Amino acid sequence: MRRRQLLAGAAGMAALAGLGVPASGAAPRAVLTATDVHVSDYPTVQAMRWIGETLEQETGGRLRLRLYHSGQLGREAEAIDMARFGAIDFARVYSGALNNAFPLTRALCLPYVFDSVAHMRRAMDGEVGQAVLDGFAERDLVGLAIYDSGARCFYNARRPIHTPADLAGMKIRVPVSDIFIRMLRLLGANATPLSLGEVYSGMETHMIDGAENNIRSFHSSRHFEAARYWSQSEHSYAPDVLLLSRRTWESLAPADRELLRDTARRSVGVMRQAWDASEASAREQIIAAGIQSNPVDIGSFRRAAAPLLAEYRRDPRIDALYARIRATA
């Protein structure tokens, strides 16, 4: 862990050195840096780009954003560490990558916690979302916004998935998250944790048979070229999170902090508009490409995953959040 942190910090410091940005965070910064593993036109990247444009406009160019998309600064785990240690300012990461370090995020990633995108948005716009964002302060981060990540479903190169029994013997990529690893095992698959960037080659070389993700990522990563079966399991609506380094936050004047927080909150609407349009487009394009899409027996998946949900709910903090999420259903 120590070696990874040092390497991540060094990478971030090198990137910032080229910009002339102080790495210590002690002085106000003219250029703020942001990272995202997704491609340039992905909705979360569009939302962060909008944040940069708004900050620049509102401050007359005093605050600007340098955005590194497509994983230019490394994987999400590295982005989290770089933000914590002040090597970068913003990090957009998937909530599953935060589960181990930030326990409250586990409530968002458990199977079948949310019923729909609309349900997830209601919960994240209210007390549940704010509680999760507040929890990042425990480890040198400021939670700014929660973005959509769509319905996560299964896709693979072998056969349609209708019930958990169809996953038997399949090697399915999951995020590096205990929840997803254990969920896939309960469903009968061989869970294979990999970074997103390794999935395409993993399917091409038959190291894995498939993966689970939202349909927008399935399309933008071009995984549909290797996996021809999409099964609408909707087993998770775990969202993305926009984080800021606490060092950066403390270096800003109070007025700039308020502007930044307000701009980040408003970017959620920008992201959602882009998400809805791009998700519909992605679905049309994969169907046109000949991908076989099928519904699943949701009840059988819920029953198979129920022991995992019950186990995590033994934690009073998770159970309290779960109850508040279900109250918004």
Q: Considering only residues 14 and 28, tell me which one the structure prediction assigns the higher pLDDT.
A: 28
pLDDT value for 196? 86
pLDDT value for 195? 86
Q: Considering only residues 49 and 20, tell me which one the structure prediction assigns the higher pLDDT.
A: 49
Q: Is the fold of 2-149+238-280 the same as that of 152-237+288-327?
A: yes
State the average pLDDT over residues 78-86.
95
Query: For 40-56, how does the pLDDT look when each residue is reduced to its tens digit (9 = 90+)?
Result: 999 999 999 999 999 99
Compute the Cα dihedral for 239, 126, 104, 3 and give only its sign: positive
| Contact status, residue 239 vs residue 149, Cβ threshold 8 Å | yes
**CA gap 55, 264 in Å, rounded:** 10
Give the 3-state secondary structure of residue 317.
Answer: helix
pLDDT at 287 exceeding the cut of 80: yes
**CA gap 166, 300 in Å, rounded:** 11
For tokens 């954003």, the residue is: 65
Return the biggest CA–CA distance within the chain: 59
pLDDT value for 12? 46
Q: Structure tokens of 150?
A: 């769509």
DSSP string, 7-66: HHHHHHHHHHHTTT--SS--S--SEEEEE-SS-TTSHHHHHHHHHHHHHHHHTTTSSEEE
Compute the Cα dihedral for 324, 272, 223, 286 and give only its sign: positive
pLDDT at 4 exceeding the cut of 50: no
**CA gap 102, 178 in Å, rounded:** 13
Average pLDDT, the chain: 91
CATH class of the 152-237+288-327 domain in this structure? alpha beta
pLDDT at 263 exceeding the cut of 60: yes
The CATH number of the structural domain formed by 2-149+238-280 is 3.40.190.170
Query: For 129-186, how does the pLDDT look when each residue is reduced to its tens digit (9 = 90+)?
Result: 999 999 999 999 999 999 999 999 999 999 999 999 999 999 999 988 899 999 999 9
| Contact status, residue 282 vs residue 274, Cβ threshold 8 Å | no
pLDDT value for 29? 52
> pLDDT > 70: what percent of the chain?
91
Which of 94-103, 108-117, 122-131 is the least confident region? 94-103
Residue ranges covered by each domain of the chain: 2-149+238-280, 152-237+288-327
pLDDT at 126 exceeding the cut of 70: yes
Contacts of 37 (CB under 8 A, 6+ apart): 69, 70, 71, 75, 76, 79, 196, 197
**CA gap 289, 35 in Å, rounded:** 31
Query: For 201-229, how does the pLDDT look when each residue is reduced to its tens digit (9 = 90+)?
Result: 999 999 999 999 999 999 999 999 999 99
